[in-house]
Structure 1
Amino acid sequence: MLEHGGNLNDAVIRYGIARDGWLDLSTGINPDFYPAPELRPDAWHRLPEASDALAAAACAYYGAPQMLPVAGTQAAIQALPQLRLREHGVARVVVAAPAYAEHAHRWQQAGHAMREADYADLPGAVDTCDVMVVCNPNNPTGARVAGEVLLAWARQLAARGGWLVVDEAFGDTTPQLSVASHTGAQGGLIVLRSVGKFFGLAGVRLGFVAAQAPILDGLREWLGPWSVSGPAQQIGIAALRDTDWQQSTRMRLLATGERLQRLLAAHGITSSGSAMYQWWPEPNAVAFHDCMARQGIWVRLFTRGAGGIRLGLPPDEAGWQRLQQALQVWREQTEQTERAERTA
């Protein structure tokens, strides 16, 4: 199983700091989560039948003509390679990288001919694959691909029976990038959306897939009955319909995302990302991760390639101050090391 952010139990064991002593910045999840409403008693008692109200709320919020609720986009990420294999056989798959590692892992695990490609190389890769997977905006780098470019790629792939899978899990603060509204007209275009990130409800395990009916029908059959719990359905409907909360949260996240980027820049770090996280290719990524952890701050370490660090948003002003102090410790430590190397 791959390692992901949010693995705070590992931090507790490795560094011996009690769980409540950590500032967890290892995910890109909104720390100011949606206030879940009180649930009806039957949410716990009844089998969770498919909810037309939930699907309609998702279509209205994401702008898609039809959507399938799933138990988090992870469920779809695991199912789509299997569905493609059953219906079309082994595919040539290109996954944009670096990105959420589960995409490449699951396509490879299913037996497809998978390779990863840098975002800059994607235009030339479209003609070499049957399936392309793109995170937009990308997690962790924040790289973006314009909607018209994605739609052109989708048309190229669909012409030969291919798929373009666009993971928009972090797309709530950049709605102008979304291609979900085009899934009804564009065959082979599959868009993934998540309630866990923007709404801060990762524990609810709720996501959605937008695509044409044959793909959604195949995915529904593959996932089986009762795939989304009753509590998740009720909470999801409330969150997706609450336009006032959505608007104020979007504005706040855009502002705090800029604040995080400025804070990093003030400590000599040039980063990129989205409103909910920042990332940079840190040459001393392991040392930075360890320095933060020893101060009780858990960040996301990437060791593939040149290595990198991703930071999520602090939950409160105390968290911001704590991060600022930890970054200062890192900067002083780095400067001390550089001085020692110059005099050696």
Structure 2
Amino acid sequence: MIKFGIVGCGHIAKKHITAIQEADGATLAAVCDTQPERVETFSSEFNVKGYTSLEEMLNTDIDVVNICTPSGFHADIAVQIARANKHVVVEKPIALTLEDTDKIITACEENNVKLAVVHPNRFRPAFVALKELVQSGVFGKISHSNATVRWNRNQEYYDQAPWRGTKSLDGGVLMNQAIHNLDLLIWLMGDVKEVYSMAATRLRNIEAEDVSTGLARFEDGSLGVIEAATTIYPKNFEESITIFGEKGTVKISGANALHIEHLTIEGMDESEIEQLIQNIKNDPWGKPGHQRIIEDMVEAIKEDREPVVTGLDGRKALELVISLYESAEHNKPIILN
């Protein structure tokens, strides 16, 4: 069994712990947080050793550490973990700056440890099916795509913790919510070459943006439209990815992007399309994405390969967010490296 430790005993940590408990080949061995009361709560609830010192936890025989702290702390913690020769699973975003991201990637490479970034939406059945369709080329030449996150995160959500909505530790709707959808766009459409964006803080009392709109040009010349907001009243309204090609159109949508709302492909039998749509309706979530991330890390260690969602993947999604921020701040197009 691969032994996992958790650093950061907040809300998202419980999702990681459930994933570890359900995953084949994984076991939860320890938890860590700087707040003793949190450590005591998690240690008692999950019957594992608790630590207030990361260094002490790293001095045990655990194999992997999952980073569940506020995003602004990811880099220093990840580097410390890598230097202790433990593998790293880091919640999205991988970090808040490219400089910090590169520190994480370099530390993991230099110490020969695996690095996985939590972008679990790739494992949803609808997106697994869409990835296969895109790779097969059935849509032909792509004209454009669309990523939409129209969600509600009310003021109470942001007030739950002082770091939420801050630029130094959290970020806004692009960094915290829509980064999953930006990762999906890159995964499906390829690298982004250029962006232009506008952002605002309209309804929430936070430092970062609560609404953002943007345009993207991909390396293949296709265009993308990005819309993200946490201002939607009164609850989550839509999360979607849409792709328009010369031979097909597809939209995955819902309050969470779980279902194929529309699929038309030249030459594809209607009954085959309906069967695919129905299969996904029958099991829209599939195996939980966090569990898939954990199981993939177990397999990556045993097979000595890269995880499915790598540090470079996390870096690309972050670079897109940062470029959109830069464009909105300076009111000009930004060319990505």
Give the alignment's TM-score, normalised by structure 1: 0.32
Query: Which structure has the highest strand share of the two?
Result: 2
Where relative contact order (Cα < 8 A, 6+ residues apart) is larger, the structure is 1
Normalized per residue, which structure has more helix? 1
Normalising by structure 2, what TM-score?
0.33
